[in-house]
Amino acid sequence: MTTHVSDDTRSSAPNISSTATRRRDRGRAGRRRAPWLFLAPAIVLFALFLAAPILYAVYLSFRTEKVSGLGLGSGSRTEVWNGLTNYANALADPEFLASVGRVAIYGLIVVPTMLGLALLFALLLDARRARARGFSRVSIFLPYAVPAVISSLLWGFLYLPGVSPFYYVFDQLGWDVPSMFSSNLVMFAVANIAVWGGVGFNMVVIYTSLKAIPSELYEAAELDGASQIGVAWRIKIPIVVPSIIMTFVFSMIATLQVFAEPTTLRPLSNTISSTWTPLMKVYRDAFTRGDLYSAAATSVIIALATFVLSFGFLRLVQSRAFGQEK
């Protein structure tokens, strides 16, 4: 039997094929656009509230205000190019250098103490004989959930001899305990708040890494006669070193940006100045003195220092790890 195909059928076949091709092309284009549509809100928010302010701060750091005459009337104050003068003045400012020194000492106290306690608590919670793990995790992590301003106010009143229950007990016992707001102890008072609030987060990060370690490694070590301390020292800690490095970088960045704790404690003590940390100096210059240009230059210096220290530390760790692998 011979099948005859009409001319209409032959002419419609290319149309059907081209329609299907167009649909496939539209589907592919839609799939390519879909990720950008989902990312668009985040990109817009990032550009408006992060990228744009950063670029504007960099722009202001190269500018200054020129005052003509007495500075009165329209046109008497104009913004002019200032080059690197703001940066040179910021780096030569004794108040800024003193604040950097205080933050360095603060970091030497906070970071090792906080990470050491976080590692210790994570190892204790991961031990086989640990009890009430859920309650302990929540108890240790809970201070991290308290905002820095609230925790600073809480500890600030505990530091005040006139209202603190601790100093009342000390007085009843006849102990002469100096105020935590004294010039010798105020650094430890601020550091204590940071340690109290930051141990929980770092502990959770390290503890999560410990839970990912296969139990077969522990069983093999115990069969070889290793104690719990030996397992922790020779197996657990070396494996969670990447997590410790990550928490160290986060802690270092937070240390360089410390602001809320000393600013909140400042009204309670006369030993914390308005330039106690670099960010406090930026706030003082921008909103108390109205010198946005100097504040912008100082903030850019702080941002660059944070980036250089963090990136440099990561590169150092990576280079050593690569050298050991070789």
Q: What is the pLDDT of residues 75-110, one digit of tens each?
A: 667 878 888 999 999 999 999 999 999 999 999 999
Query: How does pLDDT run across 213-238, given as a tens digit for each residue?
Result: 888 888 788 777 778 888 888 889 99
Strands 63-67 and 77-81: antiparallel
pLDDT over 70 (residue 326): no
Is the pLDDT at 286 greater than 80, yes or no? yes
Dist CA 272 CA 190 (whole Å): 10
Mean pLDDT rounded to a whole number for the chain: 87
Within 64-180, residue ranges assigned H as helices are 85-92, 94-126, 133-145, 148-159, 165-173
**The pLDDT of residue 201:** 95
Residue 325 Cα to chain centre, angstroms:
30
Predicted confidence at residue 234, as pLDDT, reads: 86
130 has pLDDT over 90: no
Query: Stretch 279-286: mean pLDDT, rounded?
Result: 95
Q: What is the 3-state secondary structure (H, E, C) of 102-123?
A: HHHHHHHHHHHHHHHHHHHHHH
CA atoms within 13 A on the CB side of 63: 14
For residue 192, pLDDT over 80 is answered with yes
Q: Residue 77 pairs with which residues in a beta bridge?
A: 67
**How many Å apart are CA 189 and CA 248, to the nearest integer?**
21
User: Model confidence over 296-315: pLDDT tens digits?
Assistant: 999 999 999 999 999 888 88
Q: How far apart are CA 35 and CA 199, in angstroms?
A: 37
Closest Cα partner for 195 from 101, 123, 273, 258? 258
Contact call for residues 294 and 89 (beta carbons, < 8 A): yes
- Pick from 312, 286, 288, 287: nearest CA to 299: 286
Q: Does residue 116 contact residue 195 with C-beta atoms inside 8 Å?
A: no
What pLDDT score was predicted for residue 267? Answer: 92
Mean pLDDT, rounded, for 16-23 = 68
Instruction: Please tell me the predicted confidence (pLDDT) of residue 14.
Output: 55
Q: What is the pLDDT of residue 70?
A: 57
Please write the tens of the pLDDT for every residue from 28-53. Answer: 766 777 888 888 999 999 999 989 99
pLDDT at 231: 86
Q: Is the pTM of this model over 0.75?
A: yes
* 105-131 residues labelled b (16+ CB within 10 A) or e (exposed): ebbebbbebbbebbbebbbbbbeeeee
